[in-house]
């Protein structure tokens, strides 16, 4: 019988998740919802996080969105995982070169705000916030990958 073990998503302790409170969005007119949870985000001035753009480093992941606002901005939690933090993602659909085990990744083109789905990633060379491919199916565009913070 073939060995079928592979690396898996973990149930993380609060310390590993490292969820912080943050205003969300580029401006007060742009509201985030529960449909945006799990999307990768990056920090901005003024105590805010915004959904990553194509090529951005993966600084954190939208963990929760509250029903209220703060200073007019959406408000919620951002998981800024510590080393070993794992997250499921999808290879961005615009990617032509497949990912392989151990590749470092950055944000791909994300699904539209208000659209539920997995974070979109592609091969990259992050300098500070490094996530590597720990498990994959084909690594082709649209396939699932498991990332681990290194």
Kindly state whether residues 107 and 136 are assigned to the same domain.
yes
Number of structural domains in the chain: 2
Per the prediction, the chain carries an average pLDDT of 93
Kindly state whether residues 94 and 68 are assigned to the same domain.
no
Q: pLDDT per residue over 119-146, tens digit each?
A: 999 999 999 999 999 999 999 999 999 9
Residue where a domain terminates, one of 47, 64, 79 = 79
Residue 9: per-residue pLDDT: 78
Is 110 part of any domain? yes
Kindly state whether residues 20 and 75 are assigned to the same domain.
yes
Report the predicted TM-score, pTM, of the whole model to 2 decimal places.
0.90
Residue 3: per-residue pLDDT: 67
Domain holding 130, by residue range, is 86-149
Is 60 part of any domain? yes
Kindly state whether residues 74 and 115 are assigned to the same domain.
no
- Mean pLDDT for 36-49 is 97
Residue where a domain terminates, one of 37, 59, 79 = 79
Residue where a domain terminates, one of 56, 79, 102 = 79
Residue 2: per-residue pLDDT: 65
pLDDT range class, residue 7, cuts 50, 70, 90:
confident
Is 20 part of any domain? yes
Is 6 part of any domain? no
Instruction: Give the long-range contacts of residues 7-16, CB within 8 A, separation 24 or more.
Output: 7/86, 7/134, 7/135, 7/146, 7/148, 8/86, 8/135, 8/146, 9/86, 9/87, 9/88, 9/146, 10/84, 10/86, 12/81, 12/85, 12/86, 15/82, 16/81, 16/82, 16/84, 16/85
């Amino acid at each position: 019988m073939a060995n079928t073990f592979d690396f898996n998503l973990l149930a993380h302790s609060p310390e590993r998740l490292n969820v912080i409170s943050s205003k969300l969005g580029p401006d007060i007119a742009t509201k985030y919802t529960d449909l945006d949870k799990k999307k990768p985000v990056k920090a901005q001035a003024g105590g805010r996080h915004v959904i990553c753009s194509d090529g951005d480093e993966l600084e954190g992941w939208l963990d929760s969105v509250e029903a209220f606002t703060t200073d007019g901005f959406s408000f919620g939690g951002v998981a800024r995982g510590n080393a070993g933090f794992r997250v499921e993602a999808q290879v961005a659909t615009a990617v032509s070169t497949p990912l392989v085990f151990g590749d470092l990744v950055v944000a791909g083109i994300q699904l539209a705000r208000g659209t539920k789905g997995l974070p979109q990633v592609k091969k990259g060379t992050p300098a500070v916030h490094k996530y590597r491919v720990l498990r994959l199916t084909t690594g082709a565009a649209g396939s699932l990958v498991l990332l681990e913070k290194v």
